[in-house]
Amino acid sequence: MIRCERKRWETGRKGSDLHTDQIGLLSLLFYLPKSRRGARPMHPNTRDEFGRGCNTYLAGGGASLAAVQLQPQQRAHTTLALSLAVGRDRLGEQGECVLNTEMAAGQIQLFAILLVAALEFGDAVKHLPPYISSCSRTDPKLNECILKNARNAIPKMINGEPKYRVPNLNPLVIPELRLRQGTEAVGLKLAWKDAALHGLPSADLQSCEASVTKRHLKLNFFVPKMSITGTYTASGRVLLLPVTGTGPSNITVHNMKASYDISWNLVKRSNGKEYLDLIDPKITLHDIGFMSLKFDNLFNGDRLLGGNLNTFFNENWKDLAKEFGPGVADAIGEVFQLVFKNVCDIVPYDLVFKP
């Protein structure tokens, strides 16, 4: 029998412990033997037994479970150290949770159960932050109401709001960014891991267009300066010249006009309340005043070739912006959707848009 053991989380504060219903993200580990010919599927009885055990463990928490297969491990006893983006002020820099099981000798397949329970989340009802007032869905000045609330919320939420699972957005970290340009003269692939987007605090929300009946919202922004920094990897060709490189990079845009569109469905939960299910996020870049690019260590550090290519990029920034802009916008839009979804998952529809 696989058993879930309740563990206590040390917060780093004297005399302060957290249990499952209080944390933002908890991982429970369990193990399954792996045959030499490959991973063995979980037996239905084992799966059901594990599910019942965890449901008992989580009773009353209203939490949702998702199984994620991780890399095979060789040890039957492992500690998972988590660096939490949300709730660090209550959990400390890292949280640890261990689930011990006795397994047969041989290779071990590690699985994790990610428990999204965040500070009474699940089906618990939360109100909007005190600096945001609900707008009436029948208000003839709905756009003005949303605009006012959004302008109040952005400066306060930009540095994170743990109670609503909003991470620090200054800078906004994009876990993976891939861009590609393909023309007769230039065929270039660029990739970043954990690229940092700077400049969101300077964004000016200028207008919004909302329709409750069409379930759609559009926000229009002006951003005086925004930069993407991080370690890049490049491959491809420019004017028949093979291009390679990896190192620090900086792409900065000035005087950018953009819009953010999102739609939603309504989903009724077990608590009888409806929640916004956000879909089809899209950021559109309408205009860029100027863009500068700098890639260090091109051509394995050849300063002459690297300098010439950077000059070429900056002289042709408009073409690069057309090619790379949509990819950057899509990546930012996905992150924005995740942030907004975290809030809408815990604030009922009637508290966002009053009847």
Q: DSSP string of 210-260? A: EETTTTEEEEEEEEEEEEEEEEEEEEEEETTEEEEEEEEEEEEEEEEEEEE
Q: In the prediction, which pLDDT does 125 show?
A: 52
Place of tokens 């999204």: 116
pLDDT at residue 11, as a whole number: 33
Using CA atoms, how far apart are residues 224 and 215, in angstroms rounded to an integer?
A: 30
Q: Which residue has the tokens 């420019």?
A: 238
Do 76 and 103 touch, CB atoms closer than 8 A? yes
Phi-psi region of 122 (alpha: psi -120 to 50; beta: other; left: phi over 0): left
Q: Which residue type sits at 127?
A: H
pLDDT at 303: 92
Q: What is the DSSP letter of 107?
A: E
Tokens of 67: 């199984």
Tens of pLDDT along the chain (355 residues)? 333 333 333 333 333 333 333 333 333 333 333 333 344 444 444 444 444 444 433 333 333 333 333 333 323 222 222 222 333 333 333 333 333 332 333 333 333 333 333 333 444 557 888 888 889 999 999 999 999 988 988 888 888 888 888 888 888 888 888 887 766 556 888 999 889 999 988 889 999 999 999 999 999 999 999 999 999 999 988 877 888 999 999 999 999 999 999 999 999 998 899 999 999 888 999 999 999 999 999 998 899 999 999 999 999 899 888 888 888 888 788 778 878 888 888 899 999 999 8
Name the pairing type of β-strands 216-238 and 241-268: antiparallel
Within a 13 Å sphere around the CA of 9, how many CA atoms are in the beta-carbon half? 26
How many CA atoms are closer than 13 Å to the CA of 127, on its beta-carbon side? 8
pTM: 0.62
pLDDT value for 183: 61
What type of residue is 56? T
Q: Which residue has the tokens 């993200």?
A: 25
Report the amino acid identity of residue 303. R
Residues in Cβ contact with 48 at an 8 Å cutoff, skipping those fewer than 6 apart: none
User: How far does the chain reach from its first CA to its final CA, in angstroms?
Assistant: 50
**Cβ atoms within 10 A of the Cβ of 341, count?**
18
Q: Pairing state of beta strands 135-136 and 172-182?
A: unpaired
Nearest to 260 by CA among 286, 285, 236, 283: 283
Could you tell me if 112 and 29 are in contact, meaning their C-beta atoms sit under 8 angstroms apart? yes
